[in-house]
Structure 1
Amino acid sequence: MSMSNATYPGDGILYDPYREPALFDGVLTKRVLAFFIDAFLILALLVAVVGFILIMGIPTLGLAWLLFPALPLFPIVALLYVAFTLGGPRASTPGMRVVGLTIRGAMGERIGPLIAAVHALLFWFSVSILTPLVLIVGLLSNRKRLLHDLLLGTVVMNATPLEQTRR
């Protein structure tokens, strides 16, 4: 079996935490930090949009303020943020890049925008229903995978050790 299919000879386990512990060292803590960084960035974007609408309302004599009812659509912006960063060529959101994480699919591939969007939706739904049980799944998983990772077959890991293996 060759390294081209991203498995190890004899075991078929992709990204084995016992053979490559550096891939998963501190991943859960980093994921929590990355979440807060990304949430802050999305909130900052929302505040900027609200500020822009407020300021533009003055020269437009209040016409721009008619955009305020569209603000409940802002979760779509958050979803697009995740879809095109997590599903992009770097395979990580800006928050994940700050803490040194990346995501891969079941066969070691980058996941793409559609799977990234589904990943985010499953995360939001699972956290809203199962909090804090979602994190317990990660504590019990040897590859630090959360419930939505298990459902989609994705793995979040440290980017630097992954790059060093040239996978």
Structure 2
Amino acid sequence: MAYDPERRADPVPAPPLDPFLDPERFEGVLPRRVVAFLIDVVILSVPVIAAALLIGIFGVVTLGFGFALAWLLGPASVVWALVYYGTTLGGPASATIGMRVMDLEMRTASGEPPYVLLGAVHAVVYWVSVSALTPLVLLVCFFNHRRRLLHDILLGTVVINNERRALRLRADGAGYRAR
């Protein structure tokens, strides 16, 4: 096979998302990201609480033998969270349900949508960083122009407004240029 300089194996990568070039993509993301996180915590906790109640009822009905299933609750909760974050962040909307409610989406630093494994790893790195470094690590977002958290920086991701919200901000005339 001959070398053809006009033919490239990979498409030219998208330019990185920049808050100075696309301010409407970054407007008000941090407070809405907190609300999205709270919505996701509720969504994650409902099946876990339901499973705990079922194990409790089963334990009472079986005169205590059913309580032996309680050890499954921890590992099942972790698997549920990884599946939830992986499939939602790696899905077509590139956002968890909470992020969709708040008109947010996650992208790689170059603007590409994330994939399932990146979504799951994003959740793991978030929980590990907050657990190991205290929640004060979340203050990192106030010291970078893209308002990224530590786990976003480590994984090369950024949370931005989705296209619908960005268009709405441009249409409201909040000083953003029309495209």
Task: Give the whole-Å Cα distance in 2 for the aligned partners of 1:95 and 1:161.
Answer: 15
Q: Deviations over 1:135-163 (max 9, x none)?
A: 22111111111111111111100112467
What is the distance in 2 between the residues matched to 1:35 and 1:48?
20
Q: How many angstroms apart in 2 are the aligned matches of 1:101 and 1:65?
A: 40
Q: Provide the identity percentage.
A: 45
> Which secondary structure does the structure 2 equivalent of 1:102 belong to?
strand
2:30 alignment partner, one of 28, 31, 34: 28
Q: Map Cα deviations across residues 85-116 of structure 1 (whole Å, 9 max, x no partner).
A: 11112111111111111001133221111111
Structure 2: gaps (5+ residues): 1-11, 171-179
The number of residue pairs the alignment matches comes to 156
- SS of the equivalent of 2:112 reads coil
Structure 1: runs of 5 or more not aligned: 8-13
TM normalised by structure 2 equals: 0.76
Distance 2:142 2:87 in 1: 28
- Measure, in 2, the Cα distance between the counterparts of 1:145 and 1:35: 15
8 Å Cα contact 2:17-2:110 kept in structure 1: no
The residue number in structure 1 matching 2:95 is 92
Which residue type is aligned with residue 69 of structure 1?
A: W
Residue pairs, 1:60-79, within 5 angstroms: 64-73=66-75, 74-79=77-82
